[in-house]
Amino acid sequence: MRILHVLPSLAPGGMERLVLQLTADATGHGDSVVVASAPGAWVPKVIEAGAAHVALPVTSRDSPFGTATATATVLLARCIRHVRPHVVHAHNVRATALARVAIVLSHHRAVLMPTLHGLAPSDYAGARRVLGWTAHRVIACAPSVARSLAAAGFPGTRIEVITNGAALRPAGNQRQADLRAALQLGSAPLVVGIGRLVEQKNWPVFIEAAGSVEGPAFVVAGEGPLRRELTDLARRSGDRVRFLGTVDDIAALMGMASCVVSTSVWEGLPLTLLEALSLGVPVVATAIDGVMDLVPATAALLVPPGDPTAVAEAISRVLADDGTALQLGNNALLAAPSWSPDLMLYRYRNAYTAACAGEPRWA
C-alpha cells in the first residue's frame, strides 16, 4: 500500500505525533509512506520511521489563495504523480482542500481520507463548507469533534470516529534524574503544563494559578507564537512559571511531575493529557468536551475553564493529599486502555484497507 500524508507542518504537536505513529505502523507493515508538509523540527523523525518527506511552503489560513498555497498545490500534485498513492491522508481542513485540488491536478485516482483533529468552536461552520466540497467522508479524532462537525451541518452518516491513541512507557529513575539536572529543576515538587504556546491552551490561567500555590515549581514544556508574551506575563506575575521550550523526553518530565495541568478552553483530544494519564500521573484539567468524552471524573480533577482559582485549589489538593493523588493515578491507569494507540492504529489500518478495496463508504 502507498500512503501519502499531508499536513501543515512537522512542528511538535498532537496532530504531528499522530502522523508519526501512523507512519511507523505503516512502514512496519511494509507499506510505502511519504509525508508532505512545511518544514518542522520533527522532519528527522519521519525519516527515522522509514518514510520520505516532501517539503511544501508554509501556507496561511489568512491567505488561502496566495502564492504559497499555489506553489504548495503544484508541488503536491507533482508528488502525487510520482508516488501514485492509494490513499492521501490529509490532516485538518486546509490540508484536505490542498490535497483535493492536487489530486485533481495530478490526474491520479487516489482515495482522499481527511482526519479532523479539532478546531476552535467558531471554525466548524467554515470547516463544514470546505469539507462538504472536498471530502466524501471525514474521520474525527474524538466524539466531541464529530458532534461539533455534525452540529455545523456536515452529514453525520459521512463522519467516522477514530479516537486518537496516546500512551507512554515510563521513564526510569536515571532518565528522570538526567532531565532534572539538564533543566536545572531543583528538588521542589513539580507542576507541569505541556502544549503549544497558543491562545487555545489559555496559559494565563496556568500562570495566575501558579501565583496562588506556594511550594512547587511550575514549568511549561512547549513552543509557539505567544512565547515572549507569556514569558513577560509570568515575569510580571511573580516569576513563578518557567517556560522550558520543547522537551524531547516528555515521559521523563511527566514522571517527575507531582501534577500535570491542562487549562485549555477547547480540545479535540489532548494527547499529552492522555499520555500523562497513561503513566498514572495526577491530572488537573478543564472540563471541556474533548476531555470529558474520554477522561472519567474519577481519573482527573476537572475544573471550569477560565477559572484560575479552581485550578489552584485542585493543584493544592493533589499536592497536599497523597491519598487523592494515588487514587487519581490508579483510576487513570484503569481508564488508559480506552485510548490505546494499538486500537487506533488497527482502526486506521482497516480504514486504509477498505479505501484501497473500493468500499462504497470511501468511494
Give pLDDT tens digits for 78-114.
999 999 999 999 999 999 999 999 999 999 999 999 9
Strands 190-194 and 159-161: unpaired
Give pLDDT tens digits for 312-344.
999 999 999 999 999 999 999 999 988 889 999
Residue 147 has pLDDT above 90, yes or no: yes
When pLDDT is cut at 50, 70 and 90, the band that residue 358 belongs to is confident
Distance from CA of residue 208 to its chain's centroid? Answer: 25
- Contact criterion met (CB below 8 Å) for 150 and 156: yes
Shared domain for 177 and 321, answered yes or no, is: yes
Segment holding 101, helix H or strand E: helix 93-106
Shared domain for 315 and 358, answered yes or no, is: no
For the CA atoms of 347, 12, 54, 59, the dihedral, rounded to the nearest 10 degrees, stands at 110
Q: Considering only residues 60 and 278, tell me which one the structure prediction assigns the higher pLDDT.
A: 278
Give the model's pLDDT for residue 294.
Answer: 84
Whole-angstrom distance between the N-terminal and C-terminal Cα of the chain?
17
Shared domain for 26 and 155, answered yes or no, is: yes
> What CATH number is given to the structural domain containing 217?
3.40.50.2000
Q: Residue range 137-148: average pLDDT?
A: 94
Shared domain for 333 and 353, answered yes or no, is: no
Give the model's pLDDT for residue 35.
Answer: 98
Shared domain for 215 and 325, answered yes or no, is: yes
- CA nearest to 54, candidates 102, 116, 113, 4: 4
Give the model's pLDDT for residue 110.
Answer: 93
Give the model's pLDDT for residue 61.
Answer: 64
Shared domain for 34 and 47, answered yes or no, is: yes
Shared domain for 353 and 304, answered yes or no, is: no
Q: Residue range 164-177: average pLDDT?
A: 92
Find the angle CA(234)-CA(239)-CA(245) to the nearest 5 degrees: 60
Shared domain for 212 and 228, answered yes or no, is: yes
- With cell 486546509, the residue in question is 94
Q: How many CB atoms lie within 10 A of CB 47?
A: 13
Give pLDDT tens digits for 114-128.
999 989 999 999 999
Show the domain range for 125: 2-165+341-362
Shared domain for 177 and 267, answered yes or no, is: yes
Q: Is 67 exposed, middle or buried (CB count within 10 Å of its CB: 0-12, 13-18, 19+)?
A: exposed
Q: Is the dihedral of CA 93, 45, 169, 210 positive or negative?
A: negative
Q: Residue range 21-36: average pLDDT?
A: 96
Instruction: State how many domains the chain has.
Output: 2
When pLDDT is cut at 50, 70 and 90, the band that residue 65 belongs to is low
Beta-carbon contacts of residue 300 (< 8 Å; ≥ 6 apart): 273, 277, 282, 283, 284, 285, 291, 328, 332
Give the model's pLDDT for residue 12.
Answer: 86
Give pLDDT tens digits for 253-293.
999 999 999 999 998 888 889 999 999 999 999 999 889 88
Q: Provide the whole-model pTM.
A: 0.87
Shared domain for 68 and 12, answered yes or no, is: yes
Distance from CA of residue 47 to its chain's centroid? Answer: 20
Q: Residue range 154-166: average pLDDT?
A: 93
Residue 363 has pLDDT above 90, yes or no: no
Give the model's pLDDT for residue 356.
Answer: 86
Shared domain for 156 and 251, answered yes or no, is: no
Shared domain for 59 and 202, answered yes or no, is: no
> Residue 311, SS3?
helix
Segment holding 176, helix H or strand E: helix 173-183
